Amino acid sequence: MYASSYNNSLVLCSLFVAILAAYTALNVSARIATAQRRVVGLWLAGGAFAMGVGTWSMHFTGMLAFHLPVPVGYDLTITFFSIGISVASSALALWLVSQNKLSRSKLIWGSLLIGTGVSAMHYTGMAAMRMKPGIRYSPSLFTLSILIAFFASGAGLWIAFYLRQCTTKVRLYRLGASVVIGVAILSMDYTGMAAAHFPVGSISGAAKYGVEPGWQAFLVIGVTLAVLSIASIVSLLDMRMESRTSIMAKSLAQANEELTYLALHDNLTKLPNRTLFEGRLSQAIENAEREQLTFSVMFMDLDGYKAVNDIFGHHVGDLLLIEVADRIRKRIRPEDTIARVGGDEFLLLMSEGDPEQAANIAHELVAAIGEPFDIEGDELRVSLSIGLAMYPSDGTTQHELLRNADAAMYHVKTQGRNAYHFFERSMNANVHEQLQLLHDLRLAIAHQEFILHYQPKFDVSDQSVIGAEALLRWMHPRRGMISPDDFIPLAEKTGLIVPIGEWVLNEACRQMAEWRQAGHSTWTMAVNLSSLQFDNIGLVETVRKTLERHSLDPSHLILEVTESTAMHDLEASMRILRQLADMGVHISIDDFGRGYSSLLYLKRLPANELKIDRGFVHDLVQDSGDAAIVSAIVSLGQKLNLKIVAEGVETLAQQEFLIHLGCNSLQGFLLGRPMPADMFLETVAVGACPSGVV
């Protein structure tokens, strides 16, 4: 046998080429896994070429490092054939790695095929020397080289598959893996070479007509350079694209997540919104239908929230809502959905199908919200009204369930609030009634269905009538007389209160002018203003024109605004009230004591009169607390130079008490009920009130 030797620097060179080829392959396989469908083919072809040529050139460099004492050449056709095998098995490897799943059988078959490919490339490459007589292979080393080829291919496939994902340290892992794969393939190659024995006297049949040794070095260096440059270009592009796509993908995913969250949640309380709620509700319905389950839906609305918002401003109102949401959240189970669906409206979807359990939770919620809230040092009180609808007894569709829970909630509102109630069939009539009422209300002015009643006000000192408060009545063609409490909220909700209010102002002024002409020149006329009218920019102009129209002195008109209306947006209120006061119109603060306003604010309002809320007057005699409040209001009013009016005087005892406390004027059923204008004149003018005792 010939003694063979290795050129060490070429061995190193072949190791370097092997690692580079493996590294390229790993990079390319990652690209294939994440590339778009239409470029997958391109990546696959380019990758297979680079990897195939790389592996082959590793093998060829190894052959060049191997030194025989006779001249050696390589048959070109066989050499190209071995390159072809290398490229084909590389293509197979890349294709396998780019699949979604690498099953065990695919891994085994893949390793066998690729291992065969690598071995075939190696031994075909050896055959390109066309040794005569033929190379003798040692069976054990030959088998070992084939086994190494299988295992190296398997390990390579497996590593490449798991390193496809772009994680943060992937570049480092890839480099490590390339070394492992490179060394494995190289050891296969050198084991294969070690298996080859060349009998003394054998010659290379390709030495004369094959590729010259000078060529060999040139070719290998060229190919190695090609692989190198392809590898670096690929990995450079890859690196850039990978990081760019991963950054983009990450920020896209994040933006998507945020958008989805925003689209499905309420910004303020972070509770789910109506869209999310309705999604869950329809899921619950489907589920209940399939599995014959029951569940409940609650419609909740805060009582008194508007007043808090009006008096303390939106900032405090917002904080209150957050606290309310918190209290509710703490009392429901994680599987239930609570959503904020309007200003102070919430919906609760409860998987609880037992009415008794649902009632317990509703009860707990009402109690929890009824407890005072401490918002930035202010103690605030609101309450909760809940309507309950059960699936399937109160509805089987989303629309039905929500409508009926709403109707039940509305029922609670009309029954005094701060409670819960289950839906009952009769409640739906209420909703229809409201709709009908709204329809009629729109036509009421045109049909001249409104009239004013007048309630007399009396001076405490000389018991004379000092004027009247105009109170609106709706003479409904079918239902008869409707009191303002029953339609003004509806008129306010729909904005109809503005034209209705203008009608009231005009009619009251017209009446006042008539009475003045009849000789009652000292009387004043009080007209109620709703907060919506107060917010209307045309108010001051409307008042001025109306007074002019009836040639009425402004001092004969008193405008009553409730405490909460006046305190809402204090600066704006002051501006409007100041304009009215400058005109000479008198201002009365109605329902005083019911709201939360700080008495200090009162000083800044250009008001002439305070009307103590009739709620305090009602319990005055029995309740010492109310007496203390009235007494405080009276003394404060006196200090601020305001006239104090007590309304809702129903008993002699109340009358005496109020006179004793120092009120300036009185108004109430005891002294005179609201009545039509002609009756007012008849009874009051002759000094004989229907129940007058003054």
Q: Tell me which residues touch Ca ion (CB under 5 A).
A: 528, 560, 590-591
- Binding flag, residue 374, ligand C2E (CB under 6 A): no
- Residue 585 token pair: 């119109």
Q: Name which of residues 464 to 483 contact ligand C2E (CB under 6 A).
A: 471-472, 483
Closest contact distance (angstroms) between CB of 415 and Ca ion is 22
Check if the beta carbon of residue 118 is closer than 8 Å to that of residue 145.
Answer: no
Closest contact distance (angstroms) between CB of 594 and Ca ion is 9
Among residues 319 and 526, whose Cβ is nearest to ligand C2E?
526
Among residues 352 and 560, whose Cβ is nearest to ligand C2E?
560
Site string for ligand C2E, 485-504 (x = CB under 6 A): x--x------------x--x
Phi-psi region of 591 (alpha: psi -120 to 50; beta: other; left: phi over 0): left
Among residues 163 and 470, whose Cβ is nearest to ligand C2E?
470
Dihedrals phi, psi of 265, to nearest 5 degrees: -130, 155
Cis peptide before 355 (omega within 30 of 0): no
Closest contact distance (angstroms) between CB of 583 and ligand C2E is 20
Among residues 339 and 482, whose Cβ is nearest to ligand C2E?
482
The interface partner of residue 668, options being ligand C2E, Ca ion, none and the CB cut-off 5 to 8 Å by kind, is ligand C2E
- Residue 481 token pair: 């007389």
What 3-state DSSP class applies to 490?
helix
- Residue 9 token pair: 């620097």
Check if the beta carbon of residue 75 is closer than 8 Å to that of residue 210.
Answer: yes
Check if the beta carbon of residue 561 is closer than 8 Å to that of residue 587.
Answer: yes
Closest contact distance (angstroms) between CB of 601 and ligand C2E is 20
Strand partners of residue 458 = 465, 666
CA distances from 109 to 22, 112, 116, 118 (A): 20, 5, 11, 14
- Binding flag, residue 52, ligand C2E (CB under 6 A): no
- Binding flag, residue 559, ligand C2E (CB under 6 A): no
Q: Spell out the long-range contacts of 503-509 with Cβ–Cβ below 8 A and sequence spacing 24 or more.
A: 503/445, 503/450, 504/450, 504/452, 504/470, 504/472, 504/528, 505/542, 505/543, 505/546, 506/546, 506/549, 507/450, 507/452, 507/470, 508/452, 508/470, 508/557, 509/546, 509/547, 509/549, 509/550, 509/552, 509/557
The interface partner of residue 674, options being Ca ion, ligand C2E, none and the CB cut-off 5 to 8 Å by kind, is ligand C2E
The interface partner of residue 269, options being Ca ion, ligand C2E, none and the CB cut-off 5 to 8 Å by kind, is none
- Return the range that interacts with ligand C2E (CB under 6 A); candidates 216-224, 315-323, 352-360, 648-656: 648-656
- Binding flag, residue 235, ligand C2E (CB under 6 A): no
Q: Which of 212, 650, 679, 692 binds ligand C2E (CB under 6 A)?
A: 650
Among residues 320 and 497, whose Cβ is nearest to Ca ion?
497
- Binding flag, residue 649, ligand C2E (CB under 6 A): yes
* Opening angle at CA 54, ends 49 and 59, nearest 5: 130
Per the listing, tokens 């669906």 go with 341
**How big is the site for ligand C2E, counted in residues (CB under 6 A)?**
23
Rounded distance, CA 307 to CA 302, Å? 11
Instruction: Give which of 84, 124, 90, 85 is closest to 110, Cα–Cα.
Output: 90
Rounded distance, CA 57 to CA 38, Å? 30
- Binding flag, residue 455, ligand C2E (CB under 6 A): yes
The interface partner of residue 535, options being ligand C2E, Ca ion, none and the CB cut-off 5 to 8 Å by kind, is none
Among residues 16 and 669, whose Cβ is nearest to ligand C2E?
669
Among residues 163 and 496, whose Cβ is nearest to ligand C2E?
496
Query: Residue 96 carries which DSSP code?
Result: H
- Return the range that interacts with ligand C2E (CB under 6 A); candidates 117-125, 298-306, 637-645, 666-674: 666-674
Q: Which of 590, 597, 643, 665 binds ligand C2E (CB under 6 A)?
A: 590
- Binding flag, residue 385, ligand C2E (CB under 6 A): no
Cis peptide before 392 (omega within 30 of 0): yes
The interface partner of residue 54, options being ligand C2E, Ca ion, none and the CB cut-off 5 to 8 Å by kind, is none
Beta carbons within 10 angstroms of residue 688's beta carbon: 9
- Binding flag, residue 668, ligand C2E (CB under 6 A): yes
Site string for ligand C2E, 596-635 (x = CB under 6 A): ------------------x---------------------
Rounded distance, CA 48 to CA 29, Å? 10
Among residues 343 and 489, whose Cβ is nearest to Ca ion?
489
Among residues 394 and 469, whose Cβ is nearest to Ca ion?
469
The interface partner of residue 662, options being Ca ion, ligand C2E, none and the CB cut-off 5 to 8 Å by kind, is none
Q: What are the start-end ranges of the H helices in 415-470?
A: 425-444
Can you give the binding site for ligand C2E, defined by CB under 6 A?
A: 455, 471-472, 483-485, 488, 501, 504, 528-530, 560, 590-591, 614, 647-650, 668-669, 674
